[in-house]
Structure 1
Amino acid sequence: MSIPAFTPIALIIGGGSNVGINVAKKLLKEGYGVALGSRNPDSAALKQQGIFPVSVDGTSSESIQKAFKSVRTNLGEPSVVVYNVSVHFPLPTANDPLSVSSDDFTKSCKLEHAVFVSAQEALASFRSIKHSTPKAFISTGNILPFMKDGPMNFVMGALQKTTMATLMNYSNRAYAAERIRFHYATLVGLDGGIPNLNPLAEVGFFNSGPAHAEAYWDLISAENAKSWDYRFTYDAKAYVA
């Protein structure tokens, strides 16, 4: 795929049918060259839409490094990176957080390492870009790290996202002077809590892809950087308590 030299590039790690593909289409519409990464991308369908497919395991640091190399070689340095990966580990025994096996806990920790490596790679790309296009790393979060009494059975997801949120907080402060933005972006329900997780709900997380796309574009395109902890609702507007 040939991309003109002036075209900003976006890499999305985690190309699911809800958030990933909708964010990709939004950025493509806004003039970005877009790479969409997943374990088994439908390469033909993505290329037909003008999207560069990337094979990547979003929980593998080595795979993520290879994905960045592929994007740099074929499109150029990304100025926007979206990390849209989570792995659910159900508790073997309900409401017993220590019933998770050591092996599953180790697998869960791989995601935390992977988001760190993704942010490192993104920073290297951002710093190498000389033009003034916005430079932003956005991680798809959830509200669990900020809940005092989160659902017990979501403990593994809470641990993953707590690391992610902490990394975004510190990185956003560290690189703000370079006009590089790091965000932990979270869809919340109308009450500011966990969104509707019923896959059959008319309005809820599982059909929130367009809202994510608009909210992420607001973060990328904002003249003045928004908060690292950015919460939005089903209408893609910032949540106001």
Structure 2
Amino acid sequence: MASSPVLLLLGAGKNIGLHTANLFSKNGYKVALASRSGLPLSETKDDLLNIKADFADPSSLSTVFSEVKSKLGAPSVVIYNAYAYTFTPEPLSQPVPEFQNSMTVSITSGYAALKAAAEAFSTLPADITKTFIYTGNRLNIEPMPKLLDLGVGKAASAHLIQAMSMVFQGENSNFYYADERKADGSPIGQIVGGQNHAEFFLKLASEKTQGAWDATFVGNEFVDFGGK
């Protein structure tokens, strides 16, 4: 009998994290949630694995993956949902250490997660589809000066995801930058749909071959906005 697939969600909060954990669990996944607190989210099943993680410390990612592999098995789906930003009315007013921290959480720890995920994927059977999803937004193509650090982080991460979709092409490992939009293609803004993300993530994880790495979606459906 085949063992249950494993989801590791890095940066588990009360919106995207909660909905994603519940949906994947209902669909037969064993679920591990990594967050700064390491505490269980309310309204999630008691049997989920909760791990404390400091995304400002990239070296902590290997420890997270090791714990997941030892307790649940190697994850076949990894979602990076961690981020850090500072709203700055004057973009260059942000102190350098603060900017550096945002880059560490958004980029360097994201890179560490990619490396650890690729290693975990390599231990799984070749015929199993593996999926890495980075929670993005439109800032990778449309700067907002007051959210400078967040935009720089998303742009760099989109580059990483696109590169990995090329490197692992044909190896049954898929990489996506998931970007929720409004129907007209404009940014979703602060009205982020946790359930929409969860349903779209599950669809991406079900894809047997690499789709568009820049996975823009409306509701829970992929919509091609032509890279805009």
One fold, TM greater than 0.5? Answer: yes
CA contact (8 A) 1:46 1:53 kept: no
Q: Which moved more, 1:52-61 or 1:39-48?
A: 39-48
Q: Distance in 2 between matches of 1:171 and 1:62?
A: 21
Q: Which moved more, 1:108-117 or 1:186-195?
A: 186-195
Q: Distance in 1 between matches of 2:168 and 2:23?
A: 26
1:87 corresponds to: 84
CA contact (8 A) 1:46 1:52 kept: no
CA contact (8 A) 2:197 2:220 kept: yes
Q: Distance in 2 between matches of 1:46 and 1:57?
A: 23
Q: Which moved more, 1:11-20 or 1:150-159?
A: 150-159
* Unaligned 5+ runs, structure 1: 198-203
Describe the shift of the 1:80–1:44 C-alpha distance in structure 2 as closer, same or farther (beyond 3 A): closer
Which letter does structure 2 place at the counterpart of 1:132?
D
Displacement of 1:216 in angstroms is 0.7
SS of residue matched to 1:61: coil
2:194 is the counterpart of 1:236: no
Residue of 163, 171, 174 corresponding to 1:178? 171
Which letter does structure 2 place at the counterpart of 1:54?
I
Displacement of 1:62 in angstroms is 1.7
SS of residue matched to 2:68: helix
2:95 corresponds to: 101
Describe the shift of the 1:54–1:160 C-alpha distance in structure 2 as closer, same or farther (beyond 3 A): same
Which letter does structure 2 place at the counterpart of 1:37?
A
Displacement of 1:223 in angstroms is 3.4
Give TM-score scaled by structure 1 length: 0.87
2:137 corresponds to: 142
Residue of 180, 187, 208 corresponding to 1:223? 208
Cα RMSD (Å) = 1.8
How far does the alpha carbon of each residue in 1:16-71 deviate from its partner, in whole angstroms, 9 at most, with x for none? 00001211111111111110111113349688432111111233212211111110
Q: Distance in 2 between matches of 1:85 and 1:133?
A: 26
Give TM-score scaled by structure 2 length: 0.92
CA contact (8 A) 1:11 1:82 kept: yes
Displacement of 1:134 in angstroms is 1.8
CA contact (8 A) 1:8 1:133 kept: no
CA contact (8 A) 2:130 2:174 kept: yes
Q: How many residue pairs get matched?
A: 224
Describe the shift of the 1:231–1:176 C-alpha distance in structure 2 as closer, same or farther (beyond 3 A): same
CA contact (8 A) 1:35 1:71 kept: yes
Aligned identity (percent) is 27
Residue of 61, 85, 108 corresponding to 1:64? 61
2:73 corresponds to: 76
Residue of 125, 130, 133 corresponding to 1:130? 125
Q: Distance in 1 between matches of 2:47 and 2:18?
A: 12
CA contact (8 A) 2:10 2:80 kept: yes
1:9 corresponds to: 6
Which letter does structure 1 place at the counterpart of 2:176?
H
